[in-house]
Amino acid sequence: MKRIGMLTSGGDCQALNATMRGVVKGLHGCFKEVEIYGFLEGYKGLIYGNYQKLSPDDFSGILTKGGTILGSSRTPFKELDIPTPDGLDKVKSMKENYKKLKLDCLVVLGGNGSQKTANRLSEEGLNVIGLPKTIDNDLWGTDMTFGFQSAVDIATNAIDCIHTTASSHGRVFIVEVMGHKVGWITLHAGIASGADVILIPEIPYDIKKVCAALENRTKEGKGFSILAVAEGAISKEVAKLPKKERKQAVTDAAAKYPSVAYEVADKIKQYSGMDIRVTVPGHTQRGGSPCPYDRVISSRFGAKAAELIKKEDFGKLVVMKNNDVTAIPLSESAGKLKYVSPDDNIVKNAKMLGISFGD
């Protein structure tokens, strides 16, 4: 009898259920008897011992279902050693509940912060397997995370829809795409939808160069322009500030504007006088059914997790490398983000296509 715990932690995404289904189907292919315990609302469920014993039927019909049947919440890694409001030692409670259920392994579906906690629990002696979830595709060590392509598809569709109204009215439209620290979604969706300008956190922009790109389109007879702007986009002026001053500048801007897209729109209007409209798809990028690509990689990730459990090869994060699903030590990925580099070929390719990054 194998007893497996499972939880989904951090922000939700479209393929969490599909991945859990992959794990469970893989486990039942490896072992004659398996008991699955799902912890509710992420690490919070493991801390407080809130769980459900799940049957194979609970994982039937969820391949196409977005969100997570277990619920999720954020338990910041930096607050892991701070007791809960009611005085519980978080790490101690998680270890105790793991042992109380006599688990053979804990499967953690989550992004960077969640996998840092997974690595901590592994270091504390628990058998842990991590699965790479995040719409941002910013988890270090894997070429792809589940949830990313679904978010790109939604963001791309939003920008596609804007094209028709932008061309009808001859306006400049800004579509704000999710991504506070990294710009993978904005970069991919911007290229896929034919955006004219892409602004991402890793490449600070010069508003004069942004306006120049827009003005060049007007001179070429283009009646409209579209900017794909990551919610964490930052200007060169702010990026050059010392860390404390930069943080204050971002805070001040947040108090003045609803979001970064509105700040960029205001700067463009002040500098060029252009008529700007802003669209923010927001959390629609996390919702809905997983796209076929995510269903496939989620199933592959789940099967790999089951294989690792069968081999008792714990303390690993399942990853994709060169389209091959493999695994790396959790410690290799924990605490690292995968950023877009200005020197990445995909950025160079986009610039060759005439897309401006405002740099």
User: Using one digit for the tens of pLDDT, what is the confidence trace for 223-233?
Assistant: 889 999 999 99
Q: How far, in Å, CA of 84 to CA of 28, rounded?
A: 36
Written as six digits, the tokens of 194 are 């034919």
Q: Average of pLDDT values for 338-347?
A: 96
Residue-range domain boundaries for the chain: 2-147+290-333, 151-286
pTM of the entire structure? 0.94
Q: How far, in Å, CA of 270 to CA of 254, rounded?
A: 18
Q: How far, in Å, CA of 56 to CA of 139, rounded?
A: 30
Task: Kindly tell me if the per-residue pLDDT of 167 is higher than 80.
Answer: no
Would you please indicate which residues are annotated as catalytic (active-site) residues?
136
Written as six digits, the tokens of 324 are 């091959």
Torsion of CA 40, 301, 183, 243, to 10 degrees: 60
User: Using one digit for the tens of pLDDT, what is the confidence trace for 22-62?
Assistant: 999 999 998 989 999 999 999 999 999 999 999 999 999 99
- Domain 2-147+290-333 fold is Rossmann fold (3.40.50)
Residues 6+ apart with CB under 8 A from 117: 9, 43, 75, 77, 80, 108, 110
Residue 204 has what pLDDT? 97
User: Using one digit for the tens of pLDDT, what is the confidence trace for 69-112?
Assistant: 999 988 988 999 999 999 999 999 999 999 999 999 999 999 99
User: Using one digit for the tens of pLDDT, what is the confidence trace for 246-284?
Assistant: 999 889 999 999 999 999 999 999 888 888 999 999 999
Residue percentage of the chain with pLDDT more than 70: 100
Q: Tell me whether domains 2-147+290-333 and 151-286 share a fold.
A: yes
Instruction: Specify whether the CB–CB gap between 59 and 25 falls below 8 A.
Output: yes
**H or E stretch at 319:** strand 316-321
Q: Does the domain made of 151-286 have the CATH classification 3.40.50.460?
A: yes
Q: Residue 143 phi/psi, 5° resolution?
A: -70, -30
- Per the model's pLDDT, the better-predicted residue between 52 and 163 turns out to be 52
Task: Kindly tell me if the per-residue pLDDT of 168 is higher than 80.
Answer: no
